[in-house]
A and B are shown apart, each in its own frame.
Chain A
Amino acid sequence: MSKQDFKILGTRPIRPDGLDKVTGKAMFGADKSVTGMLHARILRSPHAHAEIVSIDTSKAKALPGVKAVITGADFDELKNRWTGYTSQNCMAQDRALYDGHAVAAVAAISKSIAAAALKLIEVEYNLLPHVTDVDEAMKPGAPVLHVGVKARKLGDEVSGNTVGYYSFGHGDLETGFAEADEVIERSFKTAATHQGYIEPHACLADLGSDGRGELWCSTQGHYNVRLICAEILDIEESQLRVTASEIGGGFGGKTTVFIEPVALMLSRKSGKPVKAVMTRDEVFRASGPTMSSSMDIKIGMSKDGRITAAQAKLRYQGGAFPYQMVMMGAMSAFAAYDLDHVQSEGWDVMTNRPKMISYRAPGAPMAVYAVEAVVDELCQKLELDPIDTRLKNAAREGTKSSYGPTFKAIGLVDALEAAKAHPHYSAPLAENTGRGVSCGFWFNFGGQVSVSMAINADGTVNLIEGNPDIGGSRASISMMAAEALGIPLDRIRTIVGDTASVGFSDVTDGSRVTFAVGIATINAANAAIKEMCKRAAMIWEIDEDAVEWVDGAAQPTGHNAGEFPPMSLAEIAAVSGKTGGPIAGHHEGAPDKAGVSFGVHLVDVEVDPETGFTAVKRYTAFQDVGKAIHPAYVEGQIQGGAVQGIGWALNEEYIYGEDGRLQNPGFLDYRIPVASDLPMIDPVIIEVPNPGHPFGVRGCGETAIVPPLAAVSNGVSRAIGTRMFELPMSPPKILKAIG
């Protein structure tokens, strides 16, 4: 697909949500209040695994100001097992499955009364054996969290906690390893990390006795919230209107529900609106972090840097309920390379931890970390240049990927060549400093989408999309609409509609919105253009087919159609009331062909040999984004992903005690990088157009978190002269490695 010339795409207009956010006017999840609302608080298990023998709520109910108390008994177990597990995660049934698992909830007229009422609820627990480590949880004889969900075809060598098994690959490993001059086999571990969104989960629920409900919440997908909550609460989807608030970060962590069904149930029971806001402690203990991992990687390489065979075994723990995510790691692990002999296997494992949920390119960062660390070690051992070696093995158009499909046009080689040519790569290194390189990959998706576009009589345009704006979609969608319609950007306003305003849209995930909503927007614009051409044809009294749309105006297609001056969108819209009524366009669909994305990151890290502290000194991130609609937002996505990956590599981890309780549920002890910790992340946009999108768009939001783990680890390993095999590389671990 050749590059196109655009008028609006690729420019950097002022972001449409900027003024509201910097003035405090923007309404986030916790900002909505209504007269007479109650406040919810949730009682959570202090135990990692316990039978709930009894819950006595009588004293709490008797406390003045308390209007409703609920427990697991208020939620029927549902036939649909996935929604059933979601329900059980929101409120425990007969067992508390992790430290922080909700066991009861209260709605009261004030937060303090609700908090006091929680202390009056008496829960009798019978403690059960627990397991929080993935390797321990897989062993036969480990405490099994749910019976009957073990992955099919697995034998007795693994416990019933093993809920998923996947393998991918092609060729013959034995042949490939026999061709290698050097084979390295290593084991790695990564800690569970949290998305670290600043805004906690928050909602305001109002569910009347007539079955009609309103729900305001911070979410990445309000249609999904409606679907799950309607099923749990046994109400019709049409009767529950869900409105997505502005969102203070999600990164995958807000693609499901945690408190929304609880608030709705409390509202139903009390007959009042109920507001629920998680504390930070609750966010850590009871929302969804990502998986921790234990991995074995074996790679063979020839002296000249050709990878002859590659094998990965990935074991992920994803918390207290069945889940499916290791497959994404197993498919991503070797995606950057063109390999003849490759195999990746993955096991999903349950433990007594909060149920995992997506975190930006879920499953990929840890797998790619382990692979890229071994590739780097091979480069060191064989004295090969890290980028040249990756170029020698790089996947490109026509490569049969390690997970099956043959790649179309992709930009990995472009990103590697850009990295090699960048001044960063040849800059001298200071003492105690190492330079790390890593590739990264993410799939990107399409999915269901609805867009409605109205052409107003004054020549302006309103556009409603159904996906919460978590990364600048209102800007990028407006820009694509302006490009398609041929009108100035300031003529268009895009809003995120509630679930009653526009058709169904999938969750904002998978880096899908700019791609999928963009296609729907272009199609909606084309529908409106068709109607505007028809109106012009009626006015000119010529055939509809004799009118075309050029630069924001209808015009006759040739002399045979007649001599008429072009009619602009504004001119056609101004008389729409007399030519047939309002003009609009809409599109509902499920576009695919999202196009995969690759990135390459370079980092210089300085390690203090006295303290083991790692300072990131320079960071450059290269990424193929297809077409950057609004480059500033794209750069922000790349920078944000890199920073989260740096935190994952150096600091962040869920720490569990022997009692199975989370030891660090707060930002003081769970340390995410802040601006003062880091240099400017220098993003370099590569544009290899995606043939599956009219403007060449690829998703760009997730790929950037994939390379940093290995890039930083490789930099640290080179700086200290010994390889690191575990994340995070906190100062004590580095000091221990230095010896």
Chain B
Amino acid sequence: MARVVIFGSLRAFTGGVGEVEIEAKNTRVLLQKLSEQFEGLRETIAAGVSLAIDGEVFKEAWFTPIDEDSEVVVMPLMVGG
């Protein structure tokens, strides 16, 4: 199962949980399961998040594959100039 790290301020919506293990074949499934597990995250996830999968940042890419031993960091949706 992938290790999912939730960034600091989002932990206010997970009851303080900063890491969870989730079995998901891709980012879409992972985000769905995360929303189901933590209802408070649903609004943030629906608004958009970026994910760092094994150190590489992905911006709302639903079908990016996730390996069983991947580290996935949930981050705010990034913007630039």
Contacts and interface: CB of A to CB of B under 8 A. Distances in A.
Interface in B19-56: 43, 52, 54-56
A331 B75 contact: yes
A445 B57 CA distance: 8
A252 B57 contact: no
Given A405-B52, A405-B57, A592-B61, A443 B7 contact: no
11 contacts: A166-B7, A168-B8, A404-B52, A405-B55, A405-B73, A408-B55, A408-B56, A446-B59, A592-B56, A592-B64, A593-B56
A702 interface: yes
A167 B54 CA distance: 21
Nearest to B62: A590
- Report whether over half of chain B's contact residues are helix, strand or loop; otherwise say mixed: mixed
Contact of A167 (B5, B9, B81): B9
A406 B53 CA distance: 9
Given A169-B8, A343-B8, A406 B80 contact: no
Contacts of A406: 54-55, 71
Contacts of A512: 80
B79 A510 contact: yes
A509 interface: yes
Interface in A239-260: 251-253, 255
Which interface residue of B5, B12, B78 has the most chain A CB atoms within 10 A?
A: B78
Given A324-B76, A447-B59, A592-B57, A359 B8 contact: no
A361 B5 CA distance: 25
Given A252-B81, A343-B8, A692-B56, 17 more contacts: A152-B12, A166-B8, A167-B7, A167-B8, A169-B8, A252-B80, A328-B78, A328-B79, A345-B8, A362-B80, A404-B52, A445-B80, A446-B59, A592-B56, A592-B58, A592-B61, A702-B81
A358 interface: yes
Interface in A217-256: 251-253, 255
Chain A to chain B: the 7 pairs with minimum beta-carbon distance, closest first: A252-B81, A510-B80, A405-B52, A358-B81, A167-B8, A404-B73, A167-B9
A438 interface: no
Given A252-B80, A406-B54, A590 B59 contact: yes
Contacts of B73: 404-405
A592 B52 CA distance: 10
Contacts of A594: 57
A14 B59 CA distance: 34
Contacts of B80: 252, 358, 361-362, 442-445, 509-512, 702
Contacts, number: 98
A362 B80 CA distance: 6
Interface of A: 152-153, 165-169, 251-253, 255, 324-325, 327-328, 331, 343, 345, 358-362, 403-408, 442-447, 509-512, 590, 592-594, 692, 702
Contact of A593 (B9, B57, B78): B57
Which interface residue of A251, A359, A404, A407 has the most chain B CB atoms within 10 A?
A: A404
A447 B57 CA distance: 11
B9 A404 contact: no
A403 B75 contact: yes
A324 B52 contact: no
A580 to B, nearest CB: 32
Interface of B: 5, 7-9, 12-13, 43, 52, 54-61, 64, 71, 73, 75-76, 78-81
Contacts of A446: 59
A100 to B, nearest CB: 21
B56 A359 contact: no
Contacts of A360: 81
Contacts of A327: 76
B32 to A, nearest CB: 19
Contacts of B76: 166, 324, 327, 331
B81 A404 contact: no
Nearest to A509: B80
Given A404-B7, A406-B54, A593-B56, A251 B81 contact: yes
A593 B59 CA distance: 9
A238 B49 CA distance: 28
A153 B79 contact: no
B5 A404 contact: yes
A287 to B, nearest CB: 13
A324 B60 CA distance: 17
Which interface residue of B7, B12, B60, B81 has the most chain A CB atoms within 10 A?
A: B81
Contacts of B52: 404-405
B75 A445 contact: no
A443 B56 contact: no
B70 to A, nearest CB: 11
A309 to B, nearest CB: 15
Contacts of A408: 55-56
A470 to B, nearest CB: 10
A407 B75 contact: no
Given A167-B9, A405-B55, A594-B57, A445 B71 contact: no
A511 B81 CA distance: 7
Nearest to A690: B56
A167 B7 CA distance: 7
B54 A359 contact: no
Nearest to A596: B57
Given A343-B8, A592-B64, A324 B81 contact: no
A404 B12 CA distance: 17
Contacts of A692: 56
A443 B12 CA distance: 25
B59 A361 contact: no
A594 B3 CA distance: 22
Contacts of B7: 166-168, 403-404
A445 B56 CA distance: 11
A166 B7 CA distance: 8
Contact of B13 (A153, A167, A403, A509): A153
A153 B15 CA distance: 12
Nearest to B8: A167
A167 B58 CA distance: 20
Contacts of A252: 80-81
B77 to A, nearest CB: 8
A328 B77 CA distance: 10
A402 to B, nearest CB: 11
A514 to B, nearest CB: 13
A735 to B, nearest CB: 33
B50 to A, nearest CB: 9
Which interface residue of B13, B56, B76, B79 has the most chain A CB atoms within 10 A?
A: B79
Nearest to A252: B81
A443 B57 contact: yes
B61 A509 contact: no
A167 B10 CA distance: 8
Contacts of A593: 56-58
Nearest to B5: A404
A445 B78 contact: yes
